[in-house]
Structure 1
Amino acid sequence: MLEVVTVVVLSITAVLTAWCGFEASKWGGEMSIAFSRASSARVQAASAEATAQAARQYDLTIYTQWVLADEEGNDELVRFIEERFTDEFAVAFDAWNTEGRSARGPFAMPDYVPPGTVEAEKSSARADAQFDEALANNQRGDDYSLLTVLFALVLFFAAISQHQTREWGRRIFLALSGVMAIVGIVTLLTFPIKL
C-alpha cells in the first residue's frame, strides 16, 4: 500500500512541479511584455512632454514681446502679437484679462494647457500602470517558482521514503511529503493561471 501511495504522490507532484515551472515561465513573459509597454509609454510621455515644453517656450517668447509692446504703449504691435498667440495660450490670456490680470500671468491660469500636456500625463499614467502590472507579474512568477521548490521537496521526501529500511521511517517521510503536497496544492489553487 505504501508503494502505491508513494507512486501516486510522486506522479501528481511531478505533474504539479512541471505546471508550476510552466506558469512561472508564462508570468515571466507577461512581466517582460508589461515592462516593454511601460518603457514604450515612457518614451511617448517624454515625446509629448517635449512638445508641451516647446509650445510653452514659443508662448513665453511671444508673451515677452507682448509685455514689452504693452509697456511701451504700442497698441498696433500689441494687436499684431496677440494675433500670433497659439490657441491654447489665447484661451489662458483671455481668462487672465477677464479676471483683471490678478494672477501672476496667463501661464499661471488653469486654462493654459499647451499641446502635449494631456498626452504626456496619459502616457505617464499608462507607463505607471504597466510598470505596476509588470511588478505584479514578476511576483506571480516568483510565487510559482517558490511553489516549484516546495513540490521538489515533496518529490525528495517521497523518494527518501522508499529507501527507508524501517516501516515507521517510510511512513514518516511519506506523511511529510503528503502534508507538503497538500499545502502546495491548496496554495496553488489560490494562484492566478496564465495559459
Structure 2
Amino acid sequence: MTEKPAPAHDRKYGVIEIITVLLLSITAVLTAWCGFEASKWGGEMSIAFSTASSARVQAASAESTAQAARQYDLTIYSQWVLAEADDRAQLAEFVENRFTDEFAVAFDAWNAEGRVSDGPLSMAEYVPPGEVEAAELSARADQKFEEALENNQRGDNYSLLTVLFALVLFFAALSQNQRARWRRTVFLSLSGLLVIVGIGILSTYPIKI
C-alpha cells in the first residue's frame, strides 16, 4: 500500500516548525555570546579603572616629590639672592655649590641669557625631579579612564543587544501558539527580521576573548 503524500498545508507547517527551531537555537547562542562579551568588557572596564586609579596615586606622589624639590631650590635660591644683595661673593659661591643639578642647569641658562627672566625657577630648563613623571602618569591615568568609559559602553551595548534577542525569542515562541497560519507567519517573520537586525548590529561590535 503506497503512502499518501502529506497535504501541502502540513508540509508548510513542518517547514515553519523547522525554521522556528533554527531561529530559537541561533538566538539562544547569540544571547549567550552577548552575555559573555558584556561580562568580558565589564572586566576590562574594571581593570582600566583600577589602572587609572593607580596611575593617579603615582602621579600625586611624583608631584609631591617635584613640589618638595621646588621648595628646596627656592629656599637655596633665596639665600643666594640675599648673599648677592649684600655683595657677599664668598657666601654666594658657597650657596651656588649647594644648588641641585636641576636648578644648576636653569641657573646657568638664566645667567647665559643675561638674567632677563624673573629667575632660574621660571626658566624652561628648570625641571624638578618628579615633574615629568607626574605629567606622564597623569596622562596615562586620563587615557585609562577614557578607556574604562569606552569599555563600559561596549559592555552596555552587548547587554542591550540581549534585550533585542529576547524579543526574537518572545515573538518566535508567540508564533508557535497561533492557530491562524497568517498570524504565525507574521510573528515568525517579525522574529526573523529582528534577528537579522541584531546580527547586523553585532557584527559592528568589537570582540574580546
TM-score (norm 1): 0.99
Task: Compare relative contact order (CA 8 Å, sep 6+) and give the higher one, 1 or 2.
Answer: 1
Runs of at least 4 residues off by over 4 Å: none
Higher gyration radius (CA): 2
Among candidates 96, 100, 104, match of residue 86 of structure 1? 100
Aligned to 2:165: 151
Q: Report the residue type matching 2:116 in the other structure.
A: S
1:133 equivalent in alignment to 2:152: no
Count of paired positions: 195
Alpha-carbon shift at residue 128 of structure 1 (Å): 1.0
1:37 equivalent in alignment to 2:57: no
1:5 equivalent in alignment to 2:19: yes
Aligned to 2:174: 160
Question: Percent same amino acid at aligned positions?
Answer: 72
Alpha-carbon shift at residue 4 of structure 1 (Å): 0.8
Aligned to 2:131: 117
Among candidates 176, 186, 198, match of residue 172 of structure 1? 186
> Structure 1 regions of 5+ residues with no counterpart?
none
Deviations 1:28-56 (A, max 9, x none): 00000000001111111101000000000
Secondary structure of 1:84's aligned partner: coil
RMSD of aligned alpha carbons: 0.6
Separation in 1 of the partners of 2:91 and 2:166?
81
Separation in 1 of the partners of 2:179 and 2:78?
93
Structural mapping, 1:38-53, within 5 Å = 38-53=52-67
TM-score (norm 2): 0.92
Aligned to 2:206: 192
Separation in 2 of the partners of 1:186 and 1:16?
12
Alpha-carbon shift at residue 138 of structure 1 (Å): 0.6
Alpha-carbon shift at residue 13 of structure 1 (Å): 0.1
Aligned to 2:6: none
Q: Report the residue type matching 2:169 in the other structure.
A: L
